[in-house]
Amino acid sequence: MPTISRFSRFRRSTQIAMALSAALGLVGGCSAQAAPPGPAGGTFQLWQDAAIFTAVEQLLMASGAGQQLSVEMYEFGRQDLAEALLAARARGAQVRLIVDRTVPASARVADWLAARGLRVRAYPVDDRAFQIDHVKLVLAPGAALVTGMNWGDTSAANHDYGLETRAPPVLERLRQIFEQDWSIAGGTPAPVTTRSSGPVLQTTPGEEVRQALLNAIGSAGHSIVGEIFTLTDPEVVAAFGLAHRRGVQVRLLLDPSQEVNLAAYRVLRSAGVSLAWFRLPPGVRLLHAKAALFDGRALLVGSANWSQGGLSVNHELDLLVADEAACSAFASRFEQDWQKAVSFG
């Protein structure tokens, strides 16, 4: 079980408890919009854990002469994937890469690729706000992958999720966001119009992930299940408490290595919400997922942690989809993980 300093635990518990108490004290609750649906009918595929890199490699290999291959990656340390980008360029693909240079591994890979002529830009994060460019996006001809999985040397050992899509409207929105980020990284900001509906959600510009997450929690009618690396945002914690209060079955798995999760765990458990610590199987380093399923029909997957930084400060990218196959795959995996979880009173 995680440990945390007495002061840090008190401070975070107080913040979350105040928000939860205030929310639960609201007479009549608050109105919630319906969770924005994504395209249905098998237009998304859910990838899990190390298999996410199977999707990555397939997308990198799919790019050929005259085609665009765009990658935005927070942590990029894998040499084999750097060489795969050079191989795509050698086949004639127009390859572009955006990195966050606050990550030392990403800066090293970016410099190595730039020295070999690859088009590389660094996202200009706001250090004063402790911002990061936390996006993990591969945009290839006819397909894209949005995930929480970094390209670090040890990332494949994390439990994580990614959504691959071939839906043209989704691909177009992802293309627009990459072009936005490419222009921002080039010093000529041209943000796309932000919106709080639709399957593609970004944060900074806008707070689309936060809005969609709160709407999905608020509109859930019978069940919410989630696997979460970091759960510290008081507004989100309060929303889970409200959902439980109105009769929604809420079950959340948290990463046991993140001490900051203790406050939300204790506050929500005391309110009757079902929480447990993810049991790390041999060889698995982290529960790195940021994913949830609402009423078995709306699945949220992406890069944004459920913290104030993840939902309000960082540049993030998520998908909220109503794809039956993807929702079913996540539900099945969650039940397996829940049965193995560790619970404390």
Domain end, chosen from 185, 220, 248, is at: 185
Q: Please, which pLDDT band fits residue 15 given cuts at 50, 70 and 90?
A: low
* pLDDT greater at residue 81 or residue 190: 81
Q: What pLDDT does residue 197 have?
A: 60
Q: What pLDDT does residue 4 have?
A: 39
* Average pLDDT, rounded, for the chain: 89
Q: What pLDDT does residue 28 have?
A: 35
Domain assignment present for residue 195? The answer is no
Indicate if 160 and 248 belong to the same structural domain: no
Q: What pLDDT does residue 14 have?
A: 47
Q: The domain spanning residue 247 has which CATH number?
A: 3.30.870.10
Q: Please, which pLDDT band fits residue 20 given cuts at 50, 70 and 90?
A: low
**What DSSP string runs through 30-88?**
---PPPPP---SS-EEEEEGGGHHHHHHHHHHT--TT-EEEEEESSB--HHHHHHHHHH
pLDDT tens digits for 180-230?
999 999 999 888 876 746 799 999 999 999 999 999 999 999 999 999 999
Q: What pLDDT does residue 19 have?
A: 53
Q: Please, which pLDDT band fits residue 8 given cuts at 50, 70 and 90?
A: very low
Q: Please, which pLDDT band fits residue 344 given cuts at 50, 70 and 90?
A: low
Q: What pLDDT does residue 216 have?
A: 97
Residue 106 corresponds to which tokens in the numbers above?
């990403």
Q: Is the pLDDT of residue 7 over 50?
A: no
Q: Residue 238 is part of which domain span?
A: 6-36+206-339
Angle among Cα 205, 206, 212 to the nearest 5 degrees reads 135
pLDDT tens digits for 143-174?
999 999 999 999 999 999 999 999 999 999 99
Check if the beta carbon of residue 145 is closer than 8 Å to that of residue 55: yes
Helix (DSSP H) and strand (DSSP E) numbers for the chain: 10, 14
Q: What pLDDT does residue 35 have?
A: 40
Q: Is the pLDDT of residue 6 over 80?
A: no
Indicate if 250 and 137 belong to the same structural domain: no
Q: How far apart are CA 256 and CA 268, in angstroms?
A: 16
Q: What pLDDT does residue 17 have?
A: 53
Q: Please, which pLDDT band fits residue 5 given cuts at 50, 70 and 90?
A: very low
Q: Is the pLDDT of residue 32 over 60?
A: no
Q: Is the pLDDT of residue 260 over 90?
A: yes
Indicate if 250 and 170 belong to the same structural domain: no
Domain assignment present for residue 135? The answer is yes
Count of the separate structural domains present in the chain: 2
Q: How far apart are CA 119 and CA 121, in angstroms?
A: 7
Q: What pLDDT does residue 128 have?
A: 93
Angle among Cα 101, 149, 174 to the nearest 5 degrees reads 80
Check if the beta carbon of residue 123 is closer than 8 Å to that of residue 316: no
Q: Is the pLDDT of residue 38 over 60?
A: no
Contacts of 34 (CB under 8 A, 6+ apart): 215, 219
Indicate if 246 and 229 belong to the same structural domain: yes
Q: How far apart are CA 234 and CA 24, in angstroms?
A: 12
Indicate if 181 and 266 belong to the same structural domain: no
Residue 50 corresponds to which tokens in the numbers above?
């190390």
Indicate if 26 and 112 belong to the same structural domain: no
Q: What pLDDT does residue 314 have?
A: 98
Peptide bond before residue 36 is cis, with ω within 30 degrees of 0 = no
Q: Is the pLDDT of residue 335 over 60?
A: yes
Domain assignment present for residue 333? The answer is yes
Domain end, chosen from 129, 155, 185, is at: 185
- Identify the residue whose tokens are 């510009």: 205
Indicate if 213 and 149 belong to the same structural domain: no
pLDDT tens digits for 82-122?
999 999 999 999 999 999 999 999 999 999 999 999 999 99
Q: How far apart are CA 79 and CA 73, in angstroms?
A: 14
